[in-house]
Structure 1
Amino acid sequence: MLMLFVSSSAFARNGKGRLMGLVADESGKPLAGITIVLQPDNKRAVSNAQGKFVFDGNLYAGTYTLTIDAIGFIKYKQEVAVADGETSSVSIQLKPGGKELNEVSVSGVHSNPDNFIDMIRTAMPSKVISRQEIEMMGSRRLDEVLKEQTGLAIVNDIGSGSRAVGLQMQGFDSGYTMIMIDGQPMIGRNNGNFDLSRITVSNIERIEIIKGASSCLFGSEALAGVINIVTRKNINHPQAMAALRYGSFNMVDATVEGETPFAGKKGSAYLSGNYYRTDGFNANPYLNQGKTAPPFNSLAFQGRGRYLLSDKSTLNFNGRYVTRHSDNNISYGVQPTKDVLDEQDLNGSIALNNNFGNGLKLKSQYYITRYKTQQNITDLNSGVIMPGNSFEQYIHRAEIQAGKSLSNVLELTGGAGAAHESLNNNAYRGAKSMTNYFGYVQASWQATNNLSVTTGARYDYHDRYGAKVNPSMGLQYHMFKNLTLKAAVATGFKTPNFQQLYMVFTNLQTGYTVLGSEEFWQEIKLLQDAGQVMNVFPSAQNIGNLKPERSVSYSGGFNYSPFSNLKFDVNVFYNDLKDFINSERVAVKTNGQEIYSYMNIAKAYTTGAEIGLNWSATRSLNLSAGYQLLYAVDKGVVDSIKNGTGLYAMVYDTEINKPRRSTRKDYVGLNNRSRHMANIKVSYTHEKSGLSGSFRVNYRSKYGFMEDGMANKFLDPYDTYVRSYFLLNAAVQKTFYNKHLQFQLTADNLMNYRDQLMPAQQGRAIIAGISWRFFKDE
């Protein structure tokens, strides 16, 4: 590979060009002190008193991207061509205010008034999914978008119920990825799993993904990474949209949204409403009645407001309210039950943004989120109502952020705040709460023309777990014009959640019991006094005060563009995790049912590589592909196998029908992780005709589901696996009447792949949609 890079550089043309230009406002008045950035070389120039700037004759021939991000103006972006030995010139007019909403490009603007931290310039690898890409996929819910991205998988936690569906990133369980909306954390998890189908994509402007430990900026739960949902904002013109889709499983998706400036464009408002319903679907042929993915209907309302108090101060409002109702009659032919779940999800914030004349930005924000559920399970034979999961969770969060460019090569972003979390759950003994105080800083430094450095650190003080400091550092080096090397290291942590600390729960349908570590010894004594405990295992002695989980993430790779229309990127990662919190079987009741609790027992790591390819074959045709190789290993299992002692020293070999000494080859890795995942997408956009579409293929290799036969507590070749599979998806859109009217046809899972071990994987779905956009033709 190194020889390829050197040879491609050696064959580069020797001539160099020059670029100069003029920056002015809408009225043509020259603007001084404006920083102009030229990518991919990341060269910078500053306009003088006459608004002029110049990049001297050291530019290789080719196409560059020129960007300007100046306070008080719409972020500017333009492709410029530089020829050998020639001087190219550009004339730029900056427009005041925010950028237009109705046009969002794949490589568009990433700035966000809700959070000064640029998600794309953090130390760890990142990716942006634009609104255009979401629309071309024909996706309706957030899980449908993310499951087609490289390195991400939507997984089921069947032991926690049919609704326990979450996102796996770089081999981490879904409880380790922070889900954010406009830079603020969302809550409401089922055993750590955040059901992404709760979130409609109708009002999403883009999705920002950070892979790897991100606690250095975002705190607990960001041990594996961050998904940040950015909603529509920055309105300049009145416009509205109405859309309706209908398809398989009686799916209905209806959206109405509108936005307008007011008070002479000093203010703006955006409102949207979405109704979604589905009959659910069944992936289990042994299920006599009901659905493995329950039917539900949902109402979502989103509103944003912005008002310019002065030329330096802006007041922002944001609100979101979602309800979801699910009713599922289910029977495996033994005990039919009715499972009813009602959910309410509320998010709201108010923020004051100040842009001072010296380049200092300051934001003060208060944020509140509430998630409430009520679940009842009814035995349809007897009519007895069994208590289900019922809880109400709040987060109150206050935060101050600041950002300033100290020079043309150094930019600082920092913040401080506090968050108070409370939860009232029928599975816990009374209401519980936690408080966290935090401060963080991120610095972006252009050390040389070719080297940029991003560093960050976060200090957290938790009222239960004391102080934690998490640093990070990332480097980018432009070795050649078409080759950029990247490397990063970051630390992460995750505090134990309420369930792991305080849960006291017995499943009345099956009889098993789960006890949080803080409640275990008190509750186990009550059960013993009642004569309900037959045996407490020696491993229970390890149950005590849980420690936060810690990780260190390493990543490195490169971006290579041998041609202007071809991009190739590689990233290798290693995540080292210690004080891993695991649920363990620690006792048996007299009725034969088991008792579980939580303890810090294991060290683990995930490692692998991600490869991406993007080829713009023509102006209309684009091909992209991605691949992830993953190894997820529990170090405790490996050590036990090597030493021939402990819980994992023996394996039951079904070929010889008896136990034998286990070997390293017997250990496959952690459950529910595929060694190989890949995706291919072909997209077509013909601007003149208004025709666009995409065809996508997603592959996942086999992965371990559960132990089979004689259990030996680790995944071996003799256990139960979900076989490898392909999913084929397609979508086509056609616009009419100057983009006012659009028709769309979507086909998901064309081959109708289903597996009873994947209860959330729907069969073939055909959806048709129509939308009308209301806006004034230019």
Structure 2
Amino acid sequence: MKYLFLLISLIMNGILFSQSSSISGKITFESKAIQLTTIELLKSSYKTQIDSLGNYRIENVAAGNYKIQVTSLGLQAINKNISLKENETLILDFKLKENENELNEVVVSGTLKPIKRLESAVPVEVYNPVFFKKNPTASIYEALQNVNGVRPQLNCGVCNTGDIHINGLEGPYTSVMIDGMPIVSSLSTVYGLSGIPNSLVERIEIVKGPASSLYGSEAVGGLINIITKNPTNAPVFSADVFTTSWLETNADIGVKFKIKEKATSLLGLNYYNYNQTIDNDNDGFTDVTAQNRISVFNKWNFNREQNRLFTIAVRGMYEDRWGGDVNWEKKYRGGDQIYGESIYTKRGELLGSYQLPTTEKLILSFSGTMHFQDSRYGTTSYIANQKIAFAQLTWDKKIKNNDLLTGIASRYTYYDDNTASTAILSENNPEKTWLPGIFLQDEITFSEKHKILLGIRYDYNSIHGNIFTPRFAYKWKINNNNILRFNTGTGFRVVNLFTEDHAALTGSREVVITNNLDPEKSINANLNYIKKIYFDNGTFVGIETTAFYTRFSNKIVSDYETDPNKIIYDNINGYALSQGISCNTDINFTNGLKFILGATYMDVSNVENGIKTRPFLTENFTGTWSISYKINPINVSIDYTGNVYSPMKLPLLSETDPRNPNSPWYSLQNIQFTYTGWKNFEMYAGIKNLLNFTPKQNNQFLISRTEDPFDKNVQYDTNGKVLVTPQNPYGLTFDTTYVYGPNQGIRGFFGLRYNFY
């Protein structure tokens, strides 16, 4: 017993001796002590919180190597490796910074210059790569499905091309930019969003409502600005590769290199391949378009005196996609033996910004794009060539309480295709449009709480003449946790019809344009409120609510119903409305559980002769969510994401068409598990479309008459109406436009990420 007591004493003395070290210090933010801050030695039981003065102390710590983590809601966490010796008193002070993943990100889209999101008079939504990693996708187009109020809309059930809807407005009303440059036009929205390596994206900024006073044409209903990484801050090497149980393969590679101290370059490669022929709905046509895509992106930052800006980037993309009859091969391209839709796309982009060597802040921005598309929709060919050149010079000047921004811009658009839209009396006549403009913006700060923004833009379109777009914004910072914004402005869009409507190029419908189409115009107002709530237990809740109203004049509408064999286009004889309310909520619990919830209710309608109708493919309600939780002891994160959509009106071919005139309520849900226990590596796996939803579940068929895609057996009466026959019991023609959601069921995925700094 005496020896046992001696042994226990020695062990206890050893423990007490080895745990005689301590760590102490002070945590501050902007020279002030802060509350609700936790200090923890990861993978150990040592943990404490600061006192009212910001001081902390962890005692009786065993000697060894640790990683100390400092976390405080709304601020960036700090992680630092430390080495603690026996009997050592280690003093560590930390200064925390604002968390860019919360509500204080730096944004540029609202005012064309960097400003903290909470300080901006214009509400801007920001989504960083962490958000999109919760549901990995092969393109930014697909990734946007988890953004509240934003819906990727498929326009073709065969070739799977599409556009982006914001608050129920069709894709042509959304301006898509890269680094603020309008390089993604309506012809190539889906292609411009495909092939941008996700590993090169710093963040995506979304402005809902007209932004034409700064960005000109196409920014009528909203703006999506893809901000690419600064090469200086990028990893030396990054890779993200994943595949699915459908054998879709996507690879994003990024490499950074320097040329002495003069320049830093970031080279990115995206490759996507899917070549399976799957027909789970048994209609004889592919459920998902086969694609082979490669995209190369290269961005340079040059070091100049006085830290003046000079950056330039180029991107090249090639894609080969096809869908159609499962027996289709390339030898049938353009023929009438076996139906297929085949699209070859070549695209090149150049963009950059250069700050002039002057005492005033003058920045020259420029971009250029070349887009060539060679398409075959059965026997219909669509060969289009578009070139866009853009240049803009801005002057940024602060005078007392006035933050001025003025600029001149010019855009040249060349567009040619093989349709009647670029022909006069059977002679080819490419469309060439100049759009010079000048704009002025003044952000006036009356006090810390009150700020207004005034803006006006004048553009001269070489076809349509003078266009004015004013803008007004007011921000009231009630306090640090309550902010109210009011915005109003106008937008405009000059239309090239055939670049925007896939239905005009496929199926058997005849395209009819009743008059010369006038530019579309809109006026918008929205009221935005941000509320931040900090609970005593450390829980944080951020709520952002926006009420919006947009009224269109001269809106171009497509009439599918007057004649089932025609699509009739004309400016609306009346007006169109998009109005509603949206809410985004972030909830962060101290145990690592995080919710991002979004909901939008909208009323989208066309009003003609006092009659209100609902456009096709516009939902009344959309909801999104992302629920995340990290199990620290085993380094595993769980992400459950999804969306839900209310019914949409769908285009039918006739009164006897058996397909549902409205889509059902439907939801696309995903779950992902990510392991981060290896240095620089992330391994992830999960399931997409957990509910296995496909549009076919509520219909006899999606694509009409797949057995007769060239309408060889369709009979018509003397008025051109399709006859009901034993071979055609519903009186239909071949049509691919009945589509509202992806026709791809449940599937698993597995991927690996690597970042080396």
- TM class by shorter-chain length? 0.7 to 0.9
SS of structure 1 residue aligned to 2:744: coil
- Tell me the amino acid that sits aligned with residue 604 of structure 1: A
For the residues of structure 2 that align with 1:105 and 1:562, how far apart are their CA atoms? 16
TM-score (norm: length of structure 1): 0.72
Partner residue in 1 for 2:392 = 399
Partner residue in 2 for 1:223 = 220
The answer to whether the 8 A contact 1:321-1:347 is kept is yes
1:415 lines up with 2:407 in the alignment: yes
For the residues of structure 1 that align with 2:528 and 2:372, how far apart are their CA atoms? 42
SS of structure 1 residue aligned to 2:141: helix
- 1:162 positional shift: 3.7
For the residues of structure 1 that align with 2:673 and 2:244, how far apart are their CA atoms? 15
SS of structure 2 residue aligned to 1:147: helix
Listed as ranges, the matches of 1:123-138 within 5 Å are: 124-138=122-136
- Tell me the amino acid that sits aligned with residue 248 of structure 2: M
Listed as ranges, the matches of 1:668-707 within 5 Å are: 669-685=614-630, 690-707=635-652
The answer to whether the 8 A contact 1:747-1:765 is kept is yes
The answer to whether the 8 A contact 1:104-1:132 is kept is no
Partner residue in 2 for 1:751 = 691
For the residues of structure 1 that align with 2:251 and 2:159, how far apart are their CA atoms? 26
For the residues of structure 2 that align with 1:746 and 1:62, how far apart are their CA atoms? 45
String of CA shifts for 1:167-203, please: whole Å, max 9, x gaps: 1111211110001111112335459877744544232
1:353 lines up with 2:355 in the alignment: yes
The answer to whether the 8 A contact 1:607-1:630 is kept is yes
- 1:553 positional shift: 0.7
1:287 lines up with 2:227 in the alignment: no
Listed as ranges, the matches of 1:641-652 within 5 Å are: none
For the residues of structure 2 that align with 1:19 and 1:510, how far apart are their CA atoms? 62
For the residues of structure 1 that align with 2:507 and 2:397, how far apart are their CA atoms? 58
User: Could you say which structure has the larger radius of gyration?
Assistant: 2
Partner residue in 1 for 2:145 = 147
Listed as ranges, the matches of 1:299-314 within 5 Å are: 299-314=294-309
- 1:597 positional shift: 4.2
- 1:355 positional shift: 7.4
For the residues of structure 2 that align with 1:151 and 1:635, how far apart are their CA atoms? 23
Partner residue in 2 for 1:383 = none
After superposition, the Cα gap between the structure-2 partners of 1:587 and 1:556, relative to the gap in structure 1 and judged at 3 Å, is closer
- 1:248 positional shift: 2.4
- Match for 2:383 among 385, 390, 410? 390
Partner residue in 1 for 2:443 = 444
After superposition, the Cα gap between the structure-2 partners of 1:175 and 1:198, relative to the gap in structure 1 and judged at 3 Å, is farther
| Structure 1: segments with no counterpart, 5+ residues | 1-17, 23-37, 39-60, 64-76, 82-89, 379-385, 518-539, 642-666, 713-717
Partner residue in 2 for 1:235 = 232
Partner residue in 2 for 1:362 = 362
SS of structure 2 residue aligned to 1:145: helix
1:766 lines up with 2:748 in the alignment: yes
Partner residue in 2 for 1:328 = 323
- 1:686 positional shift: 6.0
Listed as ranges, the matches of 1:602-641 within 5 Å are: 602-618=574-590, 620-636=592-608, 639-640=610-611
The answer to whether the 8 A contact 1:261-1:268 is kept is yes
After superposition, the Cα gap between the structure-2 partners of 1:566 and 1:579, relative to the gap in structure 1 and judged at 3 Å, is same
Listed as ranges, the matches of 1:481-520 within 5 Å are: 481-497=480-496, 499=498, 510-514=507-511, 517=513
- 1:512 positional shift: 3.4
Partner residue in 2 for 1:724 = 665
1:185 lines up with 2:182 in the alignment: yes
SS of structure 1 residue aligned to 2:312: strand
SS of structure 2 residue aligned to 1:499: helix
String of CA shifts for 1:426-479, please: whole Å, max 9, x gaps: 113222211100122332222122112223222111111111111111222123
For the residues of structure 1 that align with 2:279 and 2:582, how far apart are their CA atoms? 30
After superposition, the Cα gap between the structure-2 partners of 1:585 and 1:701, relative to the gap in structure 1 and judged at 3 Å, is closer
- Tell me the amino acid that sits aligned with residue 411 of structure 1: D
After superposition, the Cα gap between the structure-2 partners of 1:693 and 1:424, relative to the gap in structure 1 and judged at 3 Å, is same
SS of structure 1 residue aligned to 2:615: coil
1:733 lines up with 2:728 in the alignment: no
TM-score (norm: length of structure 2): 0.73
- Tell me the amino acid that sits aligned with residue 313 of structure 1: R
- 1:697 positional shift: 2.9
The answer to whether the 8 A contact 2:392-2:409 is kept is yes
After superposition, the Cα gap between the structure-2 partners of 1:186 and 1:351, relative to the gap in structure 1 and judged at 3 Å, is closer
The answer to whether the 8 A contact 1:284-1:755 is kept is no
After superposition, the Cα gap between the structure-2 partners of 1:366 and 1:737, relative to the gap in structure 1 and judged at 3 Å, is same
- Match for 2:527 among 516, 541, 556? 556
The answer to whether the 8 A contact 2:199-2:240 is kept is no
The answer to whether the 8 A contact 1:312-1:356 is kept is no
- Tell me the amino acid that sits aligned with residue 132 of structure 1: V
- 1:696 positional shift: 1.5
The answer to whether the 8 A contact 1:165-1:195 is kept is no
- Tell me the amino acid that sits aligned with residue 743 of structure 1: M
1:582 lines up with 2:582 in the alignment: no
After superposition, the Cα gap between the structure-2 partners of 1:243 and 1:624, relative to the gap in structure 1 and judged at 3 Å, is closer
SS of structure 1 residue aligned to 2:205: strand
For the residues of structure 1 that align with 2:748 and 2:96, how far apart are their CA atoms? 46
Identity, in percent, stands at 18
- 1:582 positional shift: 2.1
SS of structure 1 residue aligned to 2:246: helix
The answer to whether the 8 A contact 2:235-2:755 is kept is no
- 1:233 positional shift: 1.3
1:318 lines up with 2:289 in the alignment: no
- Tell me the amino acid that sits aligned with residue 546 of structure 2: N
For the residues of structure 1 that align with 2:468 and 2:304, how far apart are their CA atoms? 37
- Match for 1:343 among 345, 348, 363? 345
For the residues of structure 2 that align with 1:586 and 1:703, how far apart are their CA atoms? 16
Partner residue in 2 for 1:271 = 267
- 1:251 positional shift: 0.7
SS of structure 1 residue aligned to 2:138: coil
Number of aligned residue pairs:
617
| Structure 2: segments with no counterpart, 5+ residues | 1-27, 35-51, 55-72, 78-92, 329-335, 697-738
String of CA shifts for 1:180-236, please: whole Å, max 9, x gaps: 111112335459877744544232111000001111111111100100111121415
Larger mean CA deviation between 181-190 and 422-431 belongs to: 181-190
Question: What value does the CA root-mean-square deviation take over the aligned residues?
Answer: 3.9
The answer to whether the 8 A contact 1:551-1:575 is kept is yes
After superposition, the Cα gap between the structure-2 partners of 1:707 and 1:339, relative to the gap in structure 1 and judged at 3 Å, is closer
1:163 lines up with 2:160 in the alignment: yes
String of CA shifts for 1:489-515, please: whole Å, max 9, x gaps: 1111111225389x99986x7543325
Partner residue in 1 for 2:418 = 426
- 1:140 positional shift: 2.7
String of CA shifts for 1:580-603, please: whole Å, max 9, x gaps: 112347998xxx954744344341
String of CA shifts for 1:260-283, please: whole Å, max 9, x gaps: 33323x311110111111247868
- 1:341 positional shift: 1.3
String of CA shifts for 1:112-137, please: whole Å, max 9, x gaps: 69994348576553200011222233
SS of structure 1 residue aligned to 2:172: helix
- Tell me the amino acid that sits aligned with residue 706 of structure 1: P
SS of structure 1 residue aligned to 2:160: coil
- 1:351 positional shift: 2.9
